[in-house]
Amino acid sequence: MLRLEDLSVRFGGLTAVNTVSLSVGSHEVVGLVGPNGAGKTTLFNAVSGLVKPSSGRILFDSADMLRTPLHRRARMGIGRTFQIPQPMHELTVRENLIVAQRFGTGAVDTRKIDEVLEFTALTDKAERHAATELALTELKALEVAKALATNPKLLLLDEVLAGLETNGKRRFMGMLKDLHEKFAVGILIIEHDIETISNLCHRVAVLNFGELIADGTPDKVFRDPEVMKSYTGASDA
Amino acid sequence: MKMSKTGLAVIFAAYVLVPLLLGSNSYVMSLIVAAMIIGGIALAWALLGNLGGMVSFGHSAFFGVGAYVSAILTMKAGVPVLAAMLLGGAGAVAASLAMLPVLRLKGPYFALAILAYAHIFKILATEWSSVTGGSAGLASVPRFPTLMGVDLSSKTGSYLIVLSLLLVFIAAYRLIRSSHYGIALRAMHDSEDATRVVGVNSTLLKALMLFVSAFMTGVIGAFNVHYINFLEPDYAFSGLWVTLPIVAAIFGGYRTILGPLVGAVTVYLVDQLVFKNLIPSGHQLVLGALLVAMIIFSPGGLMPLLRKGSRRKHAAA
């Protein structure tokens, strides 16, 4: 479904993503890991259209996305969340989803919005003001809910579990697993926690200094000494 | 669209009581019409600011272009005045097309770029003298017609026209604000990336708001030219057509629909009837001081202040 071919993103002299080739199949869950500054979020930004790649190709359902504007990518089925939640200010939780659904799919289906609210445990907060009346777990859930409201084929989840306390993390993990089953989406997820990735993902790709250094099953990748070295910063695994 | 009893009463008073009670006093009627002209531009300006999130210093361009298009069409092509006014609005929309490239700019950069555009249209009106009459301008611009026995060119007739225009603008603003487009526009203020990644074409929505705002301002400009019957570039593109509406909109509350109108009527009438008598020259200074006081004590403007006051009254009752 998503195929990156030799994708590079450069900011002046800095190469944030360096000739990365990676694919995510329909209904596949792929983890994207790597130390801070490895280029994970930049790669998400390139796929969702927030930054322009310097070279390489982004193919989604075989269509070249390089010239596709950001808003159209959402309509084609690419949904994303932000690491720091970005609720639409001035709107209630429900209005956030209405905007996402109306512009992401072209129509408003209130039944589907109720379903997404229930799935993300936000039904009770639907009429609350999104920017000021939600706790962090709820803001993270709203990020996922907005993306789901656009009826995505591929979800880019950027550290949705980061900053959550243990219980919240466990509940969120359960939700992510159900999400994959219920909404039949492919997922590319950035996450630091190896256990989470191992539980959730079919495959894991590792970025280090913008380069893809491993791509395979979690079992195989997390046994790779080079990966563990880059991940833990240890001189020897 | 629901209309409150107070709203209906205000509309009734505006259509019936004002002409009956004040219609014979042409000085007061001319002040009211002038205030409503400022109010119309203020409303259009606030729509762009509130929904589009853009601060424009270039609305005098739309006002001037609307005036020129309508005047030229009536004088040279024989188009009926009321139809030409709408075409004046369309002309302002066409002028705003030239401003589309600046939509990519944000904040002060947008404000300055659009101010520069306004000057281009003024230069055009001055230099293209075969059509616009150059710096001498156009005299004897056709007046409003008589419709169903009502002489629309009289002070009261003109008042009824501008009142009707404002009511249509208010209805359009309300419709846009409550639509999905309006909700998305509100969402874009502080979180443009968040709205774009869910499929909102933010540039298109902003452009649409610029068109609507330009159309409204153009129609008001066209109304004004048929009301005063002459036109010249310095007057049509004067910076006053944007500064006074900005003061009015901010004073009344630019985030509300009625705020700009209430602000315009309050600011203009108080200035002309009170301050001008007290301080014949330099009376605008008081307006500046009032605006500063309003921004300090009620940044949301007069409307939120009035609402707060009426809520307190209800709570005490």
Those residues whose C-beta lies under 8 Å from the C-beta of residue B31, and which sit 6 or more positions away, are: B268, B269, B272, B273
- The answer to whether B220 touches B165, Cβ cutoff 8 Å, is yes
Mutate to test the interface with B, among A44, A65, A71, A94 (most CBs of B within 10 A): A71
Structure tokens at B262: 């209430």
The number of beta carbons lying within 10 Å of the beta carbon of residue B151 is 14
Structure tokens at A91: 């709107």
Task: Report the candidate in A83, A45, A87, A85 with the shortest Cα–Cα distance to residue A162.
Answer: A83
Structure tokens at A133: 């009346």
Please state the domain count of chain A: 1
- The answer to whether B7 touches B261, Cβ cutoff 8 Å, is no
**Contacts with A108 from chain B: Cβ below 8 Å:** 180
The number of beta carbons lying within 10 Å of the beta carbon of residue B30 is 16
- Residue A53 main-chain phi, psi, to 5 deg: -65, 150
Structure tokens at A53: 């790649």
Q: Find the radius of gyration of the CA atoms of chain A.
A: 17
Instruction: Give pLDDT, residue B102.
Output: 84
User: CB distance A86–B201 less than 8 Å?
Assistant: no
**Residue B299 pLDDT > 80, yes or no?**
no
User: CB distance B201–A74 less than 8 Å?
Assistant: no
pLDDT tens-digit readout, B265-284: 988 888 888 888 888 887 77
CA distance A123 to chain B (A): 20
Q: Which residues pair with A33 in a beta bridge?
A: A206
Least confident span in A59-63, A164-168, A231-235, B6-10? A231-235
Q: Taking CA atoms, what residue in A is nearest to B205?
A: A103
> Could you give the CA distance from residue A117 to residue A125 in angstroms, rounded to a whole number?
9
- The answer to whether B28 touches B155, Cβ cutoff 8 Å, is no
Mean pLDDT, rounded, for B129-138: 87
Task: Report the candidate in A62, A63, A79, A61 with the shortest Cα–Cα distance to residue A71.
Answer: A79
pLDDT tens-digit readout, A131-161: 888 998 899 999 999 999 999 999 999 998 8
Which residue of B190, B191, B198 is in closest CB contact with A104? B198
Highest mean pLDDT: which of A198-202, A231-235, B79-83, B265-269? B79-83
Mutate to test the interface with A, among B50, B189, B196, B197 (most CBs of A within 10 A): B197
A102: domain range?
2-65+73-232
Q: Domain coordinates of chain B in residue numbers?
A: 26-242
> Could you give the CA distance from residue A108 to residue B180 in angstroms, rounded to a whole number?
9
**Cα pseudo-dihedral A99, A100, A104, A108, rounded to 10:** -60
Those residues whose C-beta lies under 8 Å from the C-beta of residue B108, and which sit 6 or more positions away, are: none
What is the distance of C-alpha B179 from the center of its chain? 22
Mean pLDDT, rounded, for A66-90: 92
What is the pLDDT confidence band of residue A94, given thresholds at 50, 70 and 90?
Answer: very high
Instruction: Give pLDDT, residue B317.
Output: 58
- Judge whether B201 is closer than 8 Å to chain A, CB to CB: yes
- The number of residues in chain A equals 237
**Cα pseudo-dihedral B16, B21, B27, B33, rounded to 10:** -20
Structure tokens at B241: 């057509």
- The answer to whether B247 touches B114, Cβ cutoff 8 Å, is no
Tokens 């526009």 sit on residue = B185
Structure tokens at A119: 């799935």
B202 class by beta-carbon count within 10 Å (0-12 exposed, 13-18 middle, 19+ buried)? buried
Structure tokens at A227: 């990966």
Instruction: Give pLDDT, residue A237.
Output: 37
**Residue B315 pLDDT > 90, yes or no?**
no
Q: Which of residues 51-110 of B touch A (CB under 8 A)?
A: none
- The number of residues in chain B equals 317
**Contacts with A72 from chain B: Cβ below 8 Å:** 199
Mean pLDDT, rounded, for A219-236: 75
pLDDT tens-digit readout, B176-202: 999 999 999 988 877 888 999 999 999
- Average pLDDT value over all residues in chain A: 90
- Average pLDDT value over all residues in chain B: 88
What is the pLDDT confidence band of residue B313, given thresholds at 50, 70 and 90?
Answer: low
Structure tokens at A115: 């379903």
pLDDT tens-digit readout, B16-46: 888 888 888 889 999 999 999 999 999 999 9
Which residue of A69, A86, A99 is in closest CB contact with B183? A99
Instruction: Give pLDDT, residue B1.
Output: 56
Mean pLDDT, rounded, for A54-68: 93
B301 class by beta-carbon count within 10 Å (0-12 exposed, 13-18 middle, 19+ buried)? buried
User: CB distance A108–B183 less than 8 Å?
Assistant: no
- The answer to whether B184 touches A103, Cβ cutoff 8 Å, is yes
**Residue A236 pLDDT > 50, yes or no?**
no
Question: Which residues of chain A are at the B interface, by a Cβ-Cβ cutoff of 8 Å?
Answer: 48-50, 69-72, 74-75, 79-80, 82, 86-91, 95-96, 98-100, 102-105, 108, 131, 146-147, 149-150
pLDDT tens-digit readout, A173-207: 888 888 888 888 999 999 888 888 888 999 999 99
Instruction: Give pLDDT, residue A181.
Output: 83
Instruction: Tell me if residue A26 falls in helix, strand or coil.
Output: coil
Mean pLDDT, rounded, for B204-216: 94
* CB contact burial B94-133 (16+ within 10 A = b; e otherwise): ebbeebeebbeeeeeebbebbbebbeebbebbbeeeeebb
pLDDT tens-digit readout, B220-263: 999 999 999 999 999 999 988 988 898 888 888 888 899 999 99
- Residue B61 main-chain phi, psi, to 5 deg: -65, -45
Size of interface A-B (CB pairs under 8 A): 80
- The answer to whether A139 touches A87, Cβ cutoff 8 Å, is yes
- Domain contains A194: yes
**Contacts with B187 from chain A: Cβ below 8 Å:** 88-91, 95-96, 99
ipTM of this predicted complex? 0.87
**Contacts with B197 from chain A: Cβ below 8 Å:** 48-50, 70, 74, 79-80
Rounded (10°) angle between helices A93-105 and A136-149:
20
DSSP letters for B34-102: HHHHHHHHHHHHHHHHHTT----S-HHHHHHHHHHHHHHHHHHS---HHHHHHHHHHHHHHHHHTTGGG
CATH of the domain at A178: 3.40.50.300
Instruction: Tell me if residue B134 falls in helix, strand or coil.
Output: helix
- Domain contains A184: yes
